Structure 1
Amino acid sequence: MNVPTVAIENVPDPLPEQLSVIDVREPEEWVAGHIDGAIHIPLSQLTERVQEVPEGQSLVVCKVGGRSAQAVAYLGQLGHDVVNLEGGMLDWAGAERPMVSETPDAPYVA
């Protein structure tokens, strides 16, 4: 199966308004640090929450790209315009892209 993938250097900074970010990591990973404005739908909940994925283009992220590739394959089969972030949140953080946290601590990739 061919999963559309994009490298961090090909992701616009700042992200365009029409692009949605879907974060499929687990809750404890999300709380530690995530992309501001991202929609949090853990991979294990994606099938029952798929209606929360907005129409239009989405960038799907996880920690290193494996779970998000599964999500992209699934959402693509349903007709969504989705792409997997190669290297996931580790590459996002490594490129010093902005992140937010749900705690008073500085955001980080858990």
Structure 2
Amino acid sequence: MLGENMPVVEVTTVPADGYLLDVREIDEWQAGHAPHAVHIPLTELAQRAGEVPQDQQVYVICRVGGRSAQAVQALNDAGWRAANVAGGMTAWAVAGREMVSETGEEPRVA
């Protein structure tokens, strides 16, 4: 069952140098994301999982936590150490964590 025994971390505990995987769609990513995040949309994760390091903790984030939960489940089932970032980018923004955009506009959660 999805979410059962799923590791979850609060946005404030994600280390600045941690591997943060953003699984949102491209338009959401472009509107605003964490500066050090790596972008692999959930729809591409199965094909691109080899890009995600297996030798460190992976923090997975989306807008509010649903897609990242799916990604965490799949990664952990395949041997990664992944945790869902509670509240996603919505909570990230509320917590005042740094964000950048690809649009030239003020970063926002789309």
What TM-score, normalized to structure 2?
0.91
1:54 CA displacement: 1.6
Deviations 1:67-96 (A, max 9, x none): 000000000011111110010000000001
Report the secondary structure of 2:82's partner residue: strand
Report the secondary structure of 2:84's partner residue: strand
Q: Please tell me whether residue 88 in structure 1 is matched to residue 88 in structure 2.
A: yes
Moved more, 84-93 or 3-12: 3-12
Report the equivalent of 1:37: 36
Report the equivalent of 2:13: 10
Report the equivalent of 1:51: 50
1:103 CA displacement: 1.0
| Partner Cα distance (2:47, 2:83) in 1 | 20
The gaps in structure 1 that reach 5 residues or longer are none
Deviations 1:27-78 (A, max 9, x none): 0000000011211110011100100112311110000000000000000011
1:8 CA displacement: 2.2
| Partner Cα distance (1:38, 1:21) in 2 | 5
Report the secondary structure of 1:83's partner residue: strand
| Partner Cα distance (1:36, 1:54) in 2 | 18
Count of aligned residue pairs for this structure pair: 106
Report the secondary structure of 1:58's partner residue: strand
| Partner Cα distance (2:11, 2:42) in 1 | 21
Give RMSD over aligned pairs.
1.1
Report the equivalent of 1:22: 21
Report the equivalent of 2:98: 98
> Is the CA contact 2:14–2:59 (under 8 Å) kept in the aligned structure 1?
no
Report the secondary structure of 1:106's partner residue: coil
